[in-house]
Amino acid sequence: DQQVKQNSPSLSVQEGRISILNCDYTNSMFDYFLWYKKYPAEGPTFLISISSIKDKNEDGRFTVFLNKSAKHLSLHIVPSQPGDSAVYFCAARWTGNQFYFGTGTSLTVIP
């Protein structure tokens, strides 16, 4: 049962434009959401997070938006850079210890 879904397996964006990666979840008990970036042959690296009590968190070029009523999470990258090309995973934590990951979206930023 996939509780966290990333329905777009891939996304291509022109350099300098905005990248929007989306994530949907089913469990309203999730209390913390994270985005990770992964390069080939490496482990995921933490990018940005948001608590369920907030609806927006910003860190430089990266902004995460949380819409709890829609159970939807999005990551905005602006402006997009070629070095942003990677696979992006969203993840959610329940009040237990488990982190649930989406299947990832492969972002390609075209120079």
Partner 1 sequence: NAGVMQNPRHLVRRRGQEARLRCSPMKGHSHVYWYRQLPEEGLKFMVYLQKENIIDESGMPKERFSAEFPKEGPSILRIQQVVRGDSAAYFCASSPSRDRPDEQYFGPGTRLTVT
Q: How far is the CB of 3 from partner 1 (least distance, A)?
A: 10
Report how far residue 97's alpha carbon sits from residue 109's, in angstroms, rounded to the nearest whole number.
34
Question: Residue 36 or residue 107: which is nearer to partner 1 going by CB?
Answer: 36
Q: How far is the CB of 58 from partner 1 (least distance, A)?
A: 14
Interacting residue ranges for partner 1, rule: CB under 8 A? 2, 4, 6, 32, 34, 36, 41-46, 49, 89, 91, 93, 96-104
Question: Residue 65 or residue 101: which is nearer to partner 1 going by CB?
Answer: 101
Question: Residue 79 or residue 101: which is nearer to partner 1 going by CB?
Answer: 101
Burial 95-110 (b: 16+ CB within 10 A, else e): eeeeebbbebbebebe
Report how far residue 41's alpha carbon sits from residue 8's, in angstroms, rounded to the nearest whole number.
22
3-state DSSP call for residue 73?
A: strand
Q: How far is the CB of 53 from partner 1 (least distance, A)?
A: 14
Beta-carbon-side half-sphere exposure of residue 12 (alpha carbons within 13 Å): 2
